[in-house]
Amino acid sequence: MTVFGILTGYKNGHLPSLAGADWERNSFAMTPHLIIRGGRKLSGDIRIGGMKNAALPILFALLLVQDEVTLEELPPVTDIETTLQILCNAGAEMERLSPTAIRIHTKNADPDAVPLRLTTELRGSSYLLGAELGRFGRAVTGIPGGCNFGIRPLDQHFRLLRALGAAIEEENGLLCASAPKGLHGAQIRLDFPSVGATVNGILAATRATGTTVISNAAREPHIVDLANFLNACGAEISGAGTSTIRICGIPRLHGTRYRIAPDMIEAGTYLCAVCGTGGKLRLENVCPEHLGAILSPLRKMGAEINVSDQDLTLERTGTLYGTVLETAPYPGFPTDMQPQFAPLLCISRGGGRIYERVWKNRFQYADELCRMGGNIRLAGDFADFSGGDRLTGTTVRATDLRGGAAMLIAGLCAKGTTALYDIRHIERGYPDFAAKLTAIGADVCTAAEKSGAR
């Protein structure tokens, strides 16, 4: 029986001793976890890193560019490390210039050398299909992993790649694609503006013969960043950021130096944290134009936000009010931010509701939040928050990347000590999150730090 199995059934955070010394003697406590002592106001500066969900497609796009590329602002997170490992195993030659910059070329890449087991560890590995088809005319990858939101179909990816001339089969847990006669341009309308399918379409079409037009395309900033990167390498892609993207295929791309855009979800997560605890946060390296749908509910909830060319500040000193959120593809309110608002709605005056319209199953964190005293009712594609809850520290786990960020925020807002397990999920997408939070006054440390220094 797992420890979490034992805890099931306890609600409202009435297990404070489990985050204390007795708990640490349990061998399970030796797995990496975070100790958060909540209830502090946070104040200070945080520098935002490069956007993970732009860096992933850009890294796979390197397979289309045989010349040397220098990438800056690569976020040092595990999903990026795994992707670099996949590329290097497949023959890419890479030099690390700093923790966030690399020089890399894929001249000698070999599609048969791709480590298939690693490809099952992240969702972004589906981009191998478009990139390898574009470069080698064939591709094999494991069924992509990533956060578990129920079934994550790839039918839109397949429709797009098939329209460009690829044959795709699923065999023994592998996706195998080939285009022996090469890829050709096509016109295709996606059923849903899928980020992943749009990325795969762009990757496959960049070096195809002729022109491809993708309509009802995803408009997320990561799509724009991918197109900007490929255009910097000589590609001819227009319309990224709108619903219609046009790609005129070209035979060869050249090397470049490229800086990845700042991560709007990392920025939004720290803004939520400080809006929840109260205090004042200044963010450096942000793109305010990407953040509109995140700033608007924060303002409604009582935060004062000022945006300048260089930075963005958020301050909340008064009441935290509830609100209603509804996720939607960009430029709507991002699904990747709804979990981080959940602890705020729990403690807000008036509570509120979150409608999840992108993923079928993205409220797994709700059980964990209820353990801490959250009063949440799930009903189909929405969750109701009664508000006015007093969150209390206890032992909880990160259910997925953003669900983990939500529990981190809950711990910061809670009274007492929270032990947060399965932080590997958070490490997939948030560089140096413990250090960044500590720098603004949070009491957050790993279990190892706790047994050593304290």
Which residues belong to the active site?
Answer: 147
359 makes contact with ligand EPZ (CB under 6 A): yes
Of 223, 261, 346, 401, which one interacts with ligand EPZ (CB under 6 A)? Answer: 401
For tokens 């490490």, the residue is 427
123 makes contact with ligand EPZ (CB under 6 A)? yes
Residues binding ligand EPZ: what is the number (CB under 6 A)? 24
Restricting to residues 134-163, which ones interact with ligand EPZ according to CB under 6 A? 147, 152-157
Among residues 6, 32, 148, 192, the one that binds ligand EPZ under rule CB under 6 A: 192
* Distance (Å, whole) CA 351 – CA 324: 9
CB atoms within 10 A of CB 414: 30
DSSP 3-state of 93:
strand
Q: Which is nearer to ligand EPZ, 156 or 348 (CB)?
A: 156
Asked whether 202 and 163 are in contact (CB, 8 A), the reply is: no
Q: Which is nearer to ligand EPZ, 23 or 127 (CB)?
A: 127
Question: What residue is closest to ligand EPZ based on CB?
Answer: 196
- Contacting residues for 81 by C-beta, under 8 A, at least 6 apart: none
The burial class, CB within 10 Å (0-12 / 13-18 / 19+), for 291 is buried
Burial of 86 (0-12, 13-18, 19+ CB in 10 A): buried
x/- mask, ligand EPZ, residues 407-436, rule CB under 6 A, reads ----------------------x-------
336 binds ligand EPZ (CB under 6 A): yes
Q: Tell me how far, at minimum, the Cβ of 328 lies from ligand EPZ, in Å.
A: 10
C-beta of residue 374 within 8 angstroms of C-beta of residue 394: no
Spell out, one character per residue from 14 to 53, where the chain touches ligand EPZ: x when CB under 6 A holds, - when not: ---------------------------------------x
DSSP string spanning 29-88? Answer: GGS-EEEEE----EEEEEE--B-HHHHHHHHHHGGG--S-EEEE----SHHHHHHHHHHH
194 lines the binding site for ligand EPZ (CB under 6 A): yes
Examine residue 325 and tell whether it contacts ligand EPZ (CB under 6 A).
Answer: no
User: Which of 147, 372 has the CB closer to ligand EPZ?
Assistant: 147
Residues that bind ligand EPZ (CB under 6 A): 53, 56, 123-124, 147, 152-157, 192, 194-197, 218, 335-336, 358-359, 401-402, 429
